[in-house]
């Protein structure tokens, strides 16, 4: 099973978003202890919407299930676009909304998930 976790860029490093990510991963591991967990970060090939759109479509196509962690105040809709495409493909989706933002992010989410020593939970 390939679980995609997508979210609003504005939440990168947000402690509540990191807690949701860890809870989702812990639940996955509890239900599938025989499977290893590999974190794969899909990086866009460039900085334009065309590049992000291609990356988001790749995520939706590659996953079996998708979790979106959304910032209701976000000015962009990339993670929503990815969730919408996953739904169109018949993938189950779950959404969490994080309403508060910290004064200073504690660490990029991908680095924290990889166990980077610079990341703080």
Residue with the two structure tokens 């239900």: 31
pLDDT score at 56: 96
Burial of 117 (0-12, 13-18, 19+ CB in 10 A): exposed
As averages over each run of 10 residues, the pLDDT of the chain (121 residues) reads: 85 82 84 76 93 96 92 88 97 87 46 43 36
| Interatomic CA distance for residues 13 and 51, integer angstroms | 23
**Other C-beta atoms lying within 10 Å of the C-beta of residue 43:** 8
- Residue spans of the domains in the chain: they are 3-114
The confidence score (pLDDT) of residue 51 equals 96
Note the pLDDT of residue 100. 64
Query: SS3 for 2?
Result: coil
**pLDDT attached to residue 49:** 93
Q: Which two tokens stand for residue 71?
A: 């910032």
For 68, the token pair is 């979106």
């Amino acid at each position: 099973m390939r679980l995609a976790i997508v979210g609003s860029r504005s939440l990168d490093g947000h402690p509540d978003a990191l807690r949701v990510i860890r809870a989702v991963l812990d639940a996955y591991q509890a239900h599938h202890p025989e499977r290893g967990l590999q974190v794969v970060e899909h990086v866009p090939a460039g900085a334009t919407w065309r590049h992000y759109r291609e990356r988001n479509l790749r995520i939706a196509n590659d996953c079996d299930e998708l979790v979106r962690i959304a910032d209701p105040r976000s000015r962009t809709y990339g993670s929503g676009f990815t969730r919408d495409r996953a739904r169109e493909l018949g993938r189950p989706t779950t959404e969490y909304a994080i309403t508060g933002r910290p004064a200073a992010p504690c660490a990029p989410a991908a680095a924290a998930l990889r166990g980077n020593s610079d990341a703080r939970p």
